[in-house]
Amino acid sequence: MQFLIDNFAALTITGLAIGAVYALIALGYTFVYGVLRLINFAHSEVFMYGSFAAVWVVMILGGNVSGSTGQVIFWVAMMFVAAMLMSGFVAVVIERVAYRPLRKRNAPPLIALISAIGASFVLSEAMGLREKIARWFGLDDTLRDYVSNSRNNVPLPTIIKPQGVFNLFGYEVTNVDIFVIVGAIAMMIVLDQFVSRSRLGRGIRAVAMDPEAAALMGVNRDRVIRVTFLVGGVMAGAAAVFYLLKIGITRYDVGFILGVKAFTAAVLGGIGNLRGALLGGFVLGLAENYGSAIVGTQWKDVVSFLLLIVILLFRPTGLLGESLGKARA
Amino acid sequence: MRSTLKLAVPFAVAALALGACGTKGGDTTPAAGASGGAAKVCDQKIGMFGALTGPNANLGIYIQNGVNLALDDYNAKHADCKVTLENYDSQGDPTQAPALAKKAIDDKKVVGLVGPAFSGESKAADPLFNEAGMVAITPSATATTLSTNGWKTFFRVLGNDATQGPAAAKYIKDTLKSTKPFVIDDATEYGKGLADTVRQDLGASVVGTDTIQTKQTDFSATVTKVTASGADAVFFGGYSPEAAPMIKQLRDAGFKGTYVVADGVKDASYLKNAGSAAEGTIITCPCVPPDVAPEFQTAYKAKFKEDPNTYSGEGYDAATILLDGIGEGKDRKSMLDYVKSFDKKGVTKQLKFDDKGESSEIKVFAYKVENGKIVSIGEIK
């Protein structure tokens, strides 16, 4: 306990940083759930593909630690572009291949859930076996740096050295911490504005509230769903970049644990609720860090899930309540 | 070194029952024997048991290279009566080990084995070899408990984790002169076993401990604990997938002390994944560095175009013991006594076993990451 009090600032900042990543991934779950009443379990792989795209683009551009400020900004910008494009693309493909055919046939939601889990396995294993897949095309030598040891960790070349910017109660807050936390909140605000102000956002809300009425009013439901997946994917791509800057490695199965955590964050904040995802992510990140400090790191996950259960006992719809339509009018 | 998957035990038991029936005729087949080798038996084999494919294949291949080199030496001297190598590729998976062990036992031409390479598969396969009376000399399995099962055919040519832990503690205390060490483990049999010994040996000077989980990537709570404790050295008992991101995040948070790890981290992926953060890492390993045996190093380099790697020399030594026995006309049965009383100088150390099959001369070496390479900095005495 004394340890928690002494290192409160450090635990809070690092908890918020990882919480920001949870929140951005949680958005994807919440967004799709709000519109389709469906948990997209393949969303964790959307994140994972984004993280690989970000690493590869830095490798292609030859990013390294001694780059000038301009270069670093360029590399990070390219990471965002690559990760968002890749994640958005994968998310849309998942929707097209794994969900739309089922929706067209009016399959029950459970079938879509199985389809989601299947898609998740296929995507994750495809990345884990990328060396073999490259070999089929005779590309494993050309692409050696990108595909070899495909089941091992893949590091992001260091492009930013974390440096203390200011001191907060004895903890040196680093540039990376600030970038991750502020960046995630900024993305959240942009998304919130997009949903509440733009024409497409209005369509999304309409479909979330009442799909049939929306269709009668001339909203193209398929298009809205595609946009929903795309936006969720783009946010996961951004999360992948923040994650890499903070953690520095990725792996073909990295999505699994993060996906579970992000899903938890979404439920914690109230699934289907955008601001709830942000709050849920931060609360989860902090709870993990404080919990580790009090009872030991090996209990980290136990603490966070205990918190989830307790909160759901008292607020069954999460901290901010469910529903994309209502909570955010 | 690796000791996972207790799943294998039931399989081992089942295979034991089967194996008992299968081996009855095994002992009698090679007719020539201890009686002087007048009628020479040719066409004999030795086995290599370990991961040759799969995610842990590197370690198996380093050993296999050493074995092949020993075989070349032998066959050059015995051109009229060559010995061949039979590979048993377990992929490091204990569940596959019993079936492979049975296959080796059933092949009457196999006189003895190098391996199994990992601790988990040793646990599954060694009872079968014991039953069949087939010598299995491991060049790399370091779990302490392996020698305590009364298997009379178990031998190992290196130190176990009970010697590596104290050596690591000694290094932290005497060489690094650390007054504030911090000890972390990954809750695996291997990692926790090592970390517990280190913690015990360092005693009261330990400023803090923590346990992480395998596959964990975010170590922020652990990092805060380390930096807040003012530690000047961190020992981590575990494998490279966690060791690499951990040191990266520690360095990012401004940790200036020394990072000490054990043989589970001694592979190329650690260097790749930790990048510049790996610099200065101390790695302890009961594996002998190549420059201790320059002739072996030269021969190895000539054949494989690279320096001997983790446990290559140990593989060479284990194979040499078996080949010497074959050269003296030993068969599977008489090999056991031959190995028990073996006492010769190998490339890594004096090769001699105590009554448990442990190497009587045990050395643990310290390695250091310098300029992106793992270099030997000498024995920990």
Q: How many angstroms separate the CA atoms of B4 and B6, rounded? A: 6
Q: Kind of pairing, strands B181-185 and B233-237?
A: parallel
Q: How many angstroms separate the CA atoms of B55 and B57, rounded? A: 6
Chain B CB contacts of A176 below 8 Å: 252
> What pLDDT does residue A306 have?
87
Q: At the fourth CATH level, which superfamily is domain B162-285? A: Response regulator (3.40.50.2300)
Report pLDDT digits (tens) over B124-148.
999 999 999 999 999 988 888 888 8
- Residue scoring higher pLDDT (A94 or A143): A94
> What pLDDT does residue B144 have?
84
- CATH dotted code for B8-159+291-351: 3.40.50.2300
Q: How many angstroms separate the CA atoms of A51 and B177, rounded? A: 41
Residue A275's φ and ψ, nearest 5 degrees, are: -65, -30
Burial of A218 by CB count in 10 Å (0-12 exposed, 13-18 middle, 19+ buried)? exposed
Crossing angle of helices B57-77 and B312-327, rounded to 10°: 30
Size of interface A-B (CB pairs under 8 A): 91
pLDDT class of B198 with cuts at 50, 70, 90: very high
Report pLDDT digits (tens) over A273-302.
888 899 999 999 999 988 888 888 888 888
* Inter-CA distances, A33 with A269, A321, A325, Å: 13, 13, 11
Q: Which amino acid is at A319?
A: L
Mean pLDDT of A108-136: 88
SS (H, E, C) B198-242: HHHHHHHHCCEEEECCCCCCCCHHHHHHHHHHCCCEEEEECCHHH
Q: Distance (Å) from the C-alpha of residue B213 to the closest C-alpha of chain A?
A: 6
Q: Distance (Å) from the C-alpha of residue B375 to the closest C-alpha of chain A?
A: 22
Chain B CB contacts of A298 below 8 Å: 187, 211-213
Segment (H or E) for B47 = strand B45-50
> What pLDDT does residue A145 have?
80
**From the CB of residue A234, how many other CB atoms can be counted at a distance below 10 Å?**
26
> What pLDDT does residue B257 have?
93
Contacts of A212 by beta carbon, 8 Å cutoff, 6+ apart: none
Chain A CB contacts of B272 below 8 Å: 155
Chain B CB contacts of A155 below 8 Å: 244, 272-275
Say which of B228, B273, B274 has its CB closest to residue A6: B228
A296 touches chain B (CB under 8 A): yes
Report pLDDT digits (tens) over B316-356.
999 999 999 999 989 999 999 999 999 999 988 889 999 89
> What pLDDT does residue B39 have?
53
Chain B CB contacts of A58 below 8 Å: none
Residue B8: CA count within 13 A, CB half-sphere: 25
Say which of A3, A176, A292 has its CB closest to residue B228: A3
> What pLDDT does residue B32 have?
40
* CA angle at A92 for the pair A86 and A95, rounded to the nearest 5°: 140
Report pLDDT digits (tens) over A73-98.
999 999 999 999 999 999 999 999 99
Nearest partner of B202 among B235, B243, B226, B156, judged by Cα: B235
A326 touches chain B (CB under 8 A): no
DSSP state of A254: H
The residue count for chain B: 381
pLDDT class of A154 with cuts at 50, 70, 90: confident
The answer to whether A91 and A43 are in contact (CB under 8 A) is yes
Token reading at A98:
């794994």
A153 and B269 within 8 Å at the Cβ level: the answer is yes
- Among A2, A14, A59, A243, which would you mutate to test the B interface (most chain B Cβ atoms within 10 Å of its Cβ)? A14
* CA angle at B191 for the pair A251 and A243, rounded to the nearest 5°: 25
Nearest partner of A48 among A234, A248, A254, A245, judged by Cα: A254
Q: How many angstroms separate the CA atoms of A129 and B274, rounded? A: 23
Nearest partner of B37 among B335, B317, B342, judged by Cα: B335
> What pLDDT does residue B195 have?
92
Q: Which amino acid is at B208?
A: G
The residue count for chain A: 329
> What pLDDT does residue B27 have?
42
- pLDDT, averaged across chain B: 85
Q: Distance (Å) from the C-alpha of residue B93 to the closest C-alpha of chain A?
A: 16
Token reading at B152:
């009379």
B220 and A14 within 8 Å at the Cβ level: the answer is yes
pLDDT class of B26 with cuts at 50, 70, 90: very low
* pLDDT over 70 (residue B22): no
Mean pLDDT of A216-220: 87
Question: What are the structural domains of chain A?
Answer: 2-314 (1.10.3470)
SS3 A161: coil
Mean pLDDT of A8-15: 88
Chain A CB contacts of B225 below 8 Å: 3, 293, 297
A298 and B211 within 8 Å at the Cβ level: the answer is yes
Q: Which residues of B touch A (CB under 8 A)?
A: 55, 187, 210-213, 215, 217-218, 220-225, 227-228, 241, 244-245, 248-249, 252-254, 269, 272-276
Report pLDDT digits (tens) over A161-200.
777 778 777 778 888 889 999 999 999 899 989 888 888 8
Q: Which amino acid is at B63?
A: I
> What pLDDT does residue B34 have?
41
Mean pLDDT of B114-123: 90
Q: State which residue of chain A sits closest to B271, comparing Cα positions.
A: A155
Q: Which residue has tokens 């990992």? A: B118
The answer to whether B96 and B177 are in contact (CB under 8 A) is no
Q: Is the ipTM of this complex over 0.85?
A: no
Q: State which residue of chain B sits closest to A292, comparing Cα positions.
A: B221
SS3 B364: coil
Nearest partner of A277 among A289, A285, A269, judged by Cα: A269
* pLDDT over 80 (residue A2): no
pLDDT class of B289 with cuts at 50, 70, 90: confident
Q: Distance (Å) from the C-alpha of residue B228 to the closest C-alpha of chain A?
A: 7
> What pLDDT does residue A1 have?
67
Mean pLDDT of B246-256: 91
SS3 A180: helix
Q: How many angstroms separate the CA atoms of A228 and A208, rounded? A: 11
Chain A CB contacts of B237 below 8 Å: none
* Inter-CA distances, B281 with B101, B150, B192, B277, Å: 38, 38, 20, 8
Token reading at B249:
């995040």
The answer to whether A214 and A204 are in contact (CB under 8 A) is no
Q: How many angstroms separate the CA atoms of B50 and B40, rounded? A: 30
Q: State which residue of chain B sits closest to A5, comparing Cα positions.
A: B228
Domain with CATH 3.40.50.2300 in chain B: 8-159+291-351, 162-285
Q: How many angstroms separate the CA atoms of A93 and A239, rounded? A: 19
**B116 cis-preceded (ω within 30 degrees of 0):** yes
Residue A153's φ and ψ, nearest 5 degrees, are: -60, 145
A17 and B220 within 8 Å at the Cβ level: the answer is yes
Segment (H or E) for B329 = none
